[in-house]
Structure 1
Amino acid sequence: MYEANPKRYDNMVYNRLGDSGLKLSAIGLGLWHNFGSVDAYENQRAIVQQAFDLGITYFDLANNYGPEPGSAEENFGRIMATDMKPYRDEMVIASKAGYEMWDGPYGNWGSRKSIIASADQSLKRMGLDYVDIFYSHRADPETNVYETAQALDSLVREGKALYVGISNYSGAQTEAIIKCFEDMHTPFVVHQPRYNMFNRGVEKDLFPVLKKYHKAAAGFSSLCQGLLTDKYLNGIPKNSRAAKSTSPFLEPKQVEETLKTVKALNEVAESRHQTLAEMALAWNLRKPELASVLVGASRPQQLVDNVKALDHLEFSDEELKTIDDILGKQGSIDWA
């Protein structure tokens, strides 16, 4: 029987989501990879247990995470039933709908039909009465934004979600749906954008909107699919995502294009007595709009290493300028 580390809250940082009452752990566990039907279940259990033992309380899923789609939620549900059920009230569990999940016209995008059906399916797979946050995973160009907002609002009013969020919305799309949530008094608390050293477009497009409305973000792809770690400093390992082409966002050519930049960033990290991954996570968290950064893990030790980023979150002006100069030479990257 799993028993959580009694000191799990001693070293984790918890940040408030904008002007809401909800706090997230500064590091959250994303279950996009390594929690599917093709992955070893006992390793999944070990990762979730290690996360919680480190004080990580935010567990982020979506209806289509796997492979196969839905299997990450099913596996997480098994872990909840066998290990984590006594700790449910100490966890923030999130899921999403918006990317293709089942055949036909209703298993995709942001209609009321699709979102509510997907939420019901997710709760059944995870064996939960409610999720803490339910997200619209992407904006629907063919559905009125008020309908999507109303569907999310309904989930709260029906007790299926405590809060709602959105992901992958532009700044303008975010402002439009926030106005709908304000009209309905929906507890909208978080936007989940892709954000890392190589993907900074949201700093100008999205973050000003979040600041204007006193909202927060929880960033995904925080380590740029592993590029912002020491994994690729000496070439492409055989068991990596780039070598296996298991990620649509990471290929050998992309690794080669960033190698010089990654090595220069690693030198800055070494001068800070951090790994590149630790520095990259700390760099993300320097932004006041970012309450939490999501990380993936293929083994428990990766979480132990990632949480060390919280030991050194401060940057000098000189360090930030050096990092900006390095990234400026690389140019914008839109693929990871």
Structure 2
Amino acid sequence: MTYSANIQRYQNMSYPRIGQSGLRLSELSLGLWHNFGGVDAFENGRQIVLKAFDKGITHFDLANNYGPPAGSAEETFGRIMAKDLAPYRNELVISTKAGHDMWPGPYGDGGNRKYMLASLDDSLQRMGLEYVDIFYSHRFDPETPLEETLYALDTAVRQGKAMYVGISKYNPEQTEKAVEILSRWNTPFIIHQERYSMLDRHMEEGLTDTLDKHGLGCIVFSPLAQGLLTDKYLKGIPENSRAAKSTGYLQKDQVTPELVEQLRQLNNLAMQRGQSLAQMAIAWNLRLPTVTSVLVGASRVEQLENNLLALDNKAFTNEELLQIEQILKG
């Protein structure tokens, strides 16, 4: 069946500007870090992407190494573009990144010019695109001069392969330097992507001030702290959860009795607000003026729809914010 987008897709979503730029993002963006790789069911991923667009999500966030295997998330998205979304390309903001390990040998990782630009060419080929809207340096590479990494971003724009550029996981000092360099070249540097959640506040330690100072926007990832800020861990570590596995970013020793108690208290507050803990956690991220958009993932359509309900109640009273701080301080 031929896909036709929901004609009411823009009615219930807000589109704030990225910092002081003219580009807007949907308040929620869909990240394809997990669940869209070659090991995953294509039709499930397709339905998630199409539901996201039908609900007003216009920004789809990828990277060269998303999968597994690496590159396969972009291939999946390319298939969805060709099959369903090609007529809507001008309504989409598509981003990708380069910076982490991608292929064997000395040229498949880091921030050097050869890797960055070759990676972007590969990404465009996998997605069947002529350009991406945002191309990121996925990480700061201490072994490559920052000017070289940023010059690759600038080149991507001047070659017509990217509309805008961004950086991810750069600290405040590195971000300041990036602003200084890219402003000399008039490169359209507009956005920083950083991890942020109720349980990970490091972004507030100087980075938000730096972004505000220079008029940069911010899109945050891991708003649910790898699933901790959901109802999964309210009774400890369930089987088949990320914390129960021996590999991954979430380890068993992180899920302490003290943390579980904090999660229960946060969940009680969320219930008083008429939300799930996950919905409150997403809404809490949007309270920060620096945050343009929150990246959410989804393993099924129902999960995406539940996350979207966070937008029904984004406002927090001062008392609620104070209560959250008190809970997190223990």
Offset at residue 312 of structure 1 (A): 1.0
For 1:303 and 1:70, locate their aligned partners in 2 and report how far apart those are by CA, in whole Å.
23
- Name 1:27's counterpart in structure 2: 28
Q: Which amino acid counterpart does residue 249 of structure 1 have in structure 2?
A: Y
For 2:182 and 2:32, locate their aligned partners in 1 and report how far apart those are by CA, in whole Å.
27
Cα gap change, 1:127 to 1:13, in 2 (>3 Å): same
- Name 1:261's counterpart in structure 2: 262
Alignment of 1:1-336 (within 5 A): 1-245=2-246, 248-257=248-257, 258-329=259-330
Offset at residue 245 of structure 1 (A): 4.4
Offset at residue 126 of structure 1 (A): 0.6
Determine what percentage of the aligned residue pairs are the same residue.
59
Offset at residue 306 of structure 1 (A): 0.8
Offset at residue 252 of structure 1 (A): 2.9
For 1:47 and 1:273, locate their aligned partners in 2 and report how far apart those are by CA, in whole Å.
25
Deviations 1:72-108 (A, max 9, x none): 0111101110011111111110000000001111111
| Secondary structure, counterpart of 1:309 in structure 2 | helix
For 1:56 and 1:303, locate their aligned partners in 2 and report how far apart those are by CA, in whole Å.
11
Any conservation in 2 of the 1:13–1:310 contact (CA below 8 Å)?
Answer: no
For 1:233 and 1:28, locate their aligned partners in 2 and report how far apart those are by CA, in whole Å.
27
Deviations 1:226-271 (A, max 9, x none): 111112223433343233446x211233234521111111111111
For 1:9 and 1:240, locate their aligned partners in 2 and report how far apart those are by CA, in whole Å.
35
For 1:214 and 1:266, locate their aligned partners in 2 and report how far apart those are by CA, in whole Å.
34
Unaligned runs of 5+ in 1: 330-336
Tell me how many residue pairs correspond in the alignment: 328
Return structure 1 stretches of 4+ with deviation > 4 angstroms.
Answer: none
Q: Which amino acid counterpart does residue 25 of structure 2 have in structure 1?
A: L
For 1:46 and 1:53, locate their aligned partners in 2 and report how far apart those are by CA, in whole Å.
10
For 1:275 and 1:134, locate their aligned partners in 2 and report how far apart those are by CA, in whole Å.
33
For 1:103 and 1:201, locate their aligned partners in 2 and report how far apart those are by CA, in whole Å.
33
- Name 1:333's counterpart in structure 2: none
For 2:192 and 2:246, locate their aligned partners in 1 and report how far apart those are by CA, in whole Å.
28
Deviates more, 1:129-138 or 1:263-272: 263-272
Offset at residue 189 of structure 1 (A): 0.8
Any conservation in 2 of the 1:181–1:188 contact (CA below 8 Å)?
Answer: yes
For 1:164 and 1:303, locate their aligned partners in 2 and report how far apart those are by CA, in whole Å.
27
For 2:118 and 2:36, locate their aligned partners in 1 and report how far apart those are by CA, in whole Å.
23
Offset at residue 219 of structure 1 (A): 0.0
Deviations 1:256-303 (A, max 9, x none): 452111111111111111111111011000000000000110001111
Any conservation in 2 of the 1:195–1:202 contact (CA below 8 Å)?
Answer: yes
For 1:65 and 1:300, locate their aligned partners in 2 and report how far apart those are by CA, in whole Å.
20
For 2:220 and 2:312, locate their aligned partners in 1 and report how far apart those are by CA, in whole Å.
19
For 1:78 and 1:234, locate their aligned partners in 2 and report how far apart those are by CA, in whole Å.
40
Offset at residue 183 of structure 1 (A): 0.3
For 1:150 and 1:177, locate their aligned partners in 2 and report how far apart those are by CA, in whole Å.
10
TM-score, length of structure 1 as denominator length: 0.95
Offset at residue 192 of structure 1 (A): 0.2
- Name 1:334's counterpart in structure 2: none
For 2:54 and 2:304, locate their aligned partners in 1 and report how far apart those are by CA, in whole Å.
10
Q: Which amino acid counterpart does residue 166 of structure 1 have in structure 2?
A: I
For 1:320 and 1:164, locate their aligned partners in 2 and report how far apart those are by CA, in whole Å.
33
Q: Which amino acid counterpart does residue 204 of structure 2 have in structure 1?
A: E
Unaligned runs of 5+ in 2: none
For 2:4 and 2:238, locate their aligned partners in 1 and report how far apart those are by CA, in whole Å.
36
Deviations 1:192-213 (A, max 9, x none): 0000001101112210000100
Deviations 1:305-334 (A, max 9, x none): 1111111111111111110111112xxxxx
Q: CA RMSD in A?
A: 1.1
For 2:84 and 2:235, locate their aligned partners in 1 and report how far apart those are by CA, in whole Å.
39
